Amino acid sequence: MAEVKLLGAWASPFSTRVEMALKLKGVEYEFIEEDLTNKSPLLLKYNPVHKKIPVLAHNGKPIAESLVILEYIDETWEGPTLFPKDPYERAQARFWAKFLDEKCLPAMWKACWSTGEEQEKAKEEAIELLGFLDNEIKGKKFFGGDNIGLVDIVGNFVGYWFGIVAELAGLEIVTQDKFPNFCKWIDEYNSCSFVKENLPPKDKLTALFKARFEASNASK
Ligand SMILES: N[C@@H](CCC(=O)N[C@@H](CS)C(=O)NCC(=O)O)C(=O)O
């Protein structure tokens, strides 16, 4: 039987998206929780370039970078597909996944953790980016259509983590009046039983990030 190991961290949206893909496909795997303050020799061996989780090891062969891992999972195992079949739709899914990682995530993270002018600029950028997402999801249940697909899973951060961290930061950015379609997707996605079962518990994430905010404020 194939040996599948996932080096990850429970609170990481990147790690969670890989776990969701494996579960969606019904792949059995061993989860190895990494201490990111003291990275294991195995992580450094498997991902010497970025030294980051998640890393998927399939029969001892490592694959790093969550978007690359998701594509590998989709191509390797049978079951519900993450990527659309049609080449144009596939390209669109890749586009939005890249947009979420390269544009939304940095701006939203910065909006939560910065202050003053830097924060104002990041908030403005986040609002502009959310407008694109709101438009893209309009009239659809999920980004993938009727079923959860790549973009929904990659959207974990904006749909779940960002809400928790933004609340702790005292920000109100994703509002019903500004982004009604995106808010509808958040409700739809987060209330799916499969999603609920696989996202880290809200109270645990809240406690973790609250402690990080307190530590960051204390060091200012
Ligand atoms: N682009 C990477 C990002 C992964 C990432 O940022 N992982 C974080 C945890 S959430 C990490 O391992 N950080 C350790 C470090 O930066 O040293 C992916 O999609 O897999």
| Cα distance between residue 144 and residue 73, in whole Å | 17
Strand partners, 5: 30, 57
User: Is 53 close to ligand 1, i.e. is its CB under 6 Å away?
Assistant: yes
Q: Which residue has the tokens 């697909």?
A: 149
What is the predicted pLDDT for the residue at 25? 97
Q: Whose CA is nearest to atom 2 of ligand 1?
A: 65
Whether 184 shows a pLDDT value over 80: the answer reads: yes
User: Is 8 close to ligand 1, i.e. is its CB under 6 Å away?
Assistant: no
Whether 219 shows a pLDDT value over 90: the answer reads: no
| Cα distance between residue 144 and residue 82, in whole Å | 8
Pocket test for ligand 1, best of 43, 47, 50 (most atoms within 8 A of CB): 50
Whether 216 shows a pLDDT value over 90: the answer reads: no
Q: What separation in Å is there between the alpha carbon of 54 and the centre of ligand 1?
A: 7
Q: What separation in Å is there between the alpha carbon of 17 and the centre of ligand 1?
A: 12
Q: Which residues of 47-63 are buried (b: 16+ CB within 10 A; e: fewer)?
A: beeeebbbbbbbeeebb
User: Is 51 close to ligand 1, i.e. is its CB under 6 Å away?
Assistant: yes
Domains of the chain: 4-76 (3.40.30.10), 87-218 (1.20.1050.10)
**How many Cα atoms within 13 Å fall on the side-chain side of residue 40?**
13
Strand partners, 2: none
DSSP annotation string for 80-104: S-SS-SSHHHHHHHHHHHHHIIIII
Q: Report the run of H or E that residue 62 belongs to, with start and end.
A: strand 61-64
What is the predicted pLDDT for the residue at 220? 73
The pLDDT of 25-32, averaged and rounded, is 97
Q: What separation in Å is there between the alpha carbon of 40 and the centre of ligand 1?
A: 14
Contacts of 199 (CB under 8 A, 6+ apart): 16, 156, 160, 190
User: Is 54 close to ligand 1, i.e. is its CB under 6 Å away?
Assistant: yes
